[in-house]
Amino acid sequence: MKIITATLLLNLSSECDVFALQRGLNLPETRPSLTLRAAIDLAEVYAKEHKIDLSNHYLYSVRLIPGREARGGQAWEVVWEQSQRVDDDEVQFIVDMDKKVTRQPRG
């Protein structure tokens, strides 16, 4: 049973890779050098240092962006969404693998 499951997973993985390549998507070749947790922490520190109030927001999403020009070819996108009526409905940061954080203009 384990062999069948492993074979199925391997086949599905290969098919997904082929499908992604056919659609022109670049799959990340390496594991990100900066962890997801570290990216969130860096974004929070950046917000505090730049006096960006996240108190009326909640962490909405974090995703890995492949194919960035930044070192490592990847970056984390960290987005906070409003939980009440606030001036900015979303606050988005890009955290590069070299720990550089930039705020992106959003909604």
CATH number at residue 93: 3.10.450
Q: What is the pLDDT of residue 24?
A: 60
Tens of pLDDT, residue by residue, the chain (107 residues): 444 444 434 444 444 454 455 556 655 467 899 999 999 999 999 999 999 999 888 999 999 998 766 556 899 999 999 866 655 578 999 999 999 999 998 65
35/75 same-domain check: yes
Q: What is the pLDDT of residue 52?
A: 92
Host H or E run for residue 3: helix 2-22
| Cβ-based neighbours of 65, under 8 Å, separated by 6 or more | 74, 75, 76, 77, 94
Residues 32, 97 contacting (CB under 8 angstroms): yes
The pTM of the full predicted model, rounded to 2 decimals, is: 0.66
The residue segments making up the domain with residue 18 are 1-28
User: Using CA of residue 22, residue 23, residue 24, residue 25, what is the dihedral sign?
Assistant: negative
Q: What is the pLDDT of residue 97?
A: 93
Say how far apart CA 25 and CA 36 lie, in whole Å: 22
DSSP summary character for residue 52 = -
Q: Number of structural domains, the chain?
A: 2
59/97 same-domain check: yes
44/87 same-domain check: yes
